Amino acid sequence: FKLEHIVVGLRVSSSRLHSQPKMAEMPAAKPQRTSLADEKCSLVARLLAAKEASGKTFDQIAEALGLTNTNAANLFYNQAQLKSDKVAKLSQIVPGISKEDLAAMQNCPMRSFDPAILQDPGVYRFYEAITHYGEAMKAIINEQCGDGIMSAVDFFMDVGTTTGKKGEKRVVVTMNGKFLPYLEQTAADNTTPAPRD
User: Which residues form the catalytic set?
Assistant: 125, 128, 151
Closest alpha carbon to 71 in 153, 151, 130, 134 = 153
Long-range pairs of 112-116 with CB within 8 A, sequence gap ≥ 24: 112/37, 112/40
Query: Roughly what angle, to the nearest 10 degrees, separates helices 58-65 and 69-76?
Result: 110
Residues in the chain: 197
Closest alpha carbon to 78 in 39, 121, 40, 132 = 40
In DSSP notation, 97-143 reads S-HHHHHHHTSPP-----GGGGGSHHHHHHHHHHHHHHHHHHHHHHH
The backbone torsions φ and ψ at residue 150, rounded to the nearest 5 degrees and listed phi first, read: -90, 130
